[in-house]
Amino acid sequence: MKILYHHRTASKDGQAVHIEEMIGSLRALGHEVRVVAPGGESAPEEKSKMGDDAGWVHRLRAKLPKFVYELLELAYSLVAYRRLAAAAREFQPDLIYERYNLYLLSGLMLKRRTGLPLLLEVNAPLVDERARFGGLALPRVARWAEDTVWRGADAVLPVTRVLGSMIAARGVPAERMVVIPNGINEAHFDAAPAPEAAKRALGWDDALVLGFTGFVRDWHGMDKVIRWMATAAAPAKARLLVVGDGPERDNLERLARELALGERVRFTGVVSRDEVPRHVAAFDIALQPAVVAYASPLKLFEYLALGKAIVAPRTPNIEEVLDDDLNALLFDPAEAGALEARLARLASDEALRRRLGEGARASIGRLHLTWHGNAERVVALGQSLRAGRGVPQAAKPADVPDVNDVNDVRA
């Protein structure tokens, strides 16, 4: 198939990983992919960096009045549409695959003009997210734009069933949705060193290593982990490795100094994707202290791929991938001290860590959590839509929530 892949993502973080891996997997399956992106129709799929972000976007947003920035986002749809239309004339694609972004109408515009099927990947309800974290100057326009794109796509691909429920509540028929979570490139992690070698490279040969990857923010709850490390419940050999960077780094480093943890807490700063496996390989306990309710955290799949004992909150989206006492220890995020209790239990039980790690690694194959598998599903969807058969129903019972259950799932 010939796939016209469109996105408006400038970040070099987990978003870029998703984009790069999907494009690479589609091409590895033998399909032609033309990329239309902010850098041009053939924007280079540069290796993203763990714990990095698109600084120039945030600086621009900070300097402009919110309504001006949002109008520019909407206007970009016209610029992107011209690029998409030119690419479509030259490339003659079989379908459009677009990564949803707020105020981005270009893919839908091209679909309506050409009749090409539009597959829309949705990673977050961006109107709600922006209103909550950054504020929206034009909420009605934003809501209209989001509803229009979601309802206009031939297939909507949320990354979790929780997010699918939220989309269904906005009027998208369940029969047009298929949940496709994040995945893993197994080959990328197969080359990771043994845990002993990874620890030796850090100078932590005999340490019990707790680890976190990604762009660390205040809501991630890493301060709880650092405070726990200063208690008697934490072994003296416990170390914390944060692979990445983020706005909360300075505060966490300050907290570690105040608690006299010294070299027991270490931040790598921004690292390339190629370096992530050798760092995660050193983890004995992999951390996801908090999560956005609808997200499919990329770090979880990396932890699973390397067979790590995971600690994560017991929330519906996390339970789509993790099972308590099978491939992770889950805790109630509303219960005071629950995270710390799970950390103490894992820190003191090597056999439990080993068993959970084995369960974690087995989850990749059991749940088909690979980018290659995701690409195969996208191609099957595209072929079905091209043939006029709509979204295949075979995957619906497991993948798409019943619209009548929307309120229960969101609760």
The structural domains of the chain, ordered by start, are: 2-183+370-402 (3.40.50.2000), 186-366 (3.40.50.2000)
Identify the residue whose tokens are 């850090």.
Answer: 202
Quote the pLDDT of residue 389: 87
**What six digits make up the tokens of 258?**
């105040």
**Any idea how long the chain is?**
411
What does the alpha-carbon distance between residue 164 and residue 185 come to, in Å, rounded to a whole number? 24
Instruction: Assess contact for 263 and 289: CB atoms under 8 A.
Output: no
Q: Which residues, other chains included, contact 301 with Cβ-Cβ below 8 Å and sequence gap of 6+?
A: 182, 183, 184, 321, 364, 369
Quote the pLDDT of residue 40: 54
Q: Which residues, other chains included, contact 246 with Cβ-Cβ below 8 Å and sequence gap of 6+?
A: 51, 53, 214, 215, 216, 217
**What six digits make up the tokens of 6?**
């469109």
* 170, 272, 377, 382 from 50: Cα distances, Å: 33, 6, 27, 31
What are the φ and ψ backbone dihedral angles of 208, each rounded to 5 degrees?
-100, 110
Instruction: Assess contact for 84 and 41: CB atoms under 8 A.
Output: no
Q: At what angle do helices 222-229 and 249-258 cross, to 10 degrees?
A: 20
Quote the pLDDT of residue 12: 65
| 3-state secondary structure at position 72 | helix
What does the alpha-carbon distance between residue 343 and residue 229 come to, in Å, rounded to a whole number? 10
Quote the pLDDT of residue 409: 30
Based on its alpha-carbon atoms, the radius of gyration of the chain, rounded to whole angstroms, reads: 22
Q: Are strands 95-99 and 238-243 parallel, antiparallel or unpaired?
A: unpaired
What are the φ and ψ backbone dihedral angles of 166, each rounded to 5 degrees?
-65, -40
Quote the pLDDT of residue 56: 54
The list of the chain residues with pLDDT below 70 reads 12, 39-61, 393-411
Instruction: Assess contact for 54 and 11: CB atoms under 8 A.
Output: yes
| 3-state secondary structure at position 225 | helix
Q: Are strands 49-50 and 95-99 parallel, antiparallel or unpaired?
A: unpaired
Q: Are strands 238-243 and 208-213 parallel, antiparallel or unpaired?
A: parallel
DSSP per-residue codes, 96-159: EEEE--TT--HHHHHHHHH---EEEEE-S-HHHHHHHHT--S-HHHHHHHHHHHHHHSSEEEES
Quote the pLDDT of residue 153: 98
Is residue 386 within a helix (H) or strand (E), and if so which, with residue range? helix 371-386
Quote the pLDDT of residue 10: 78
Is residue 73 within a helix (H) or strand (E), and if so which, with residue range? helix 66-91
What does the alpha-carbon distance between residue 152 and residue 157 come to, in Å, rounded to a whole number? 13
Identify the residue whose tokens are 């589609």.
Answer: 26
**What six digits make up the tokens of 294?**
């609808």
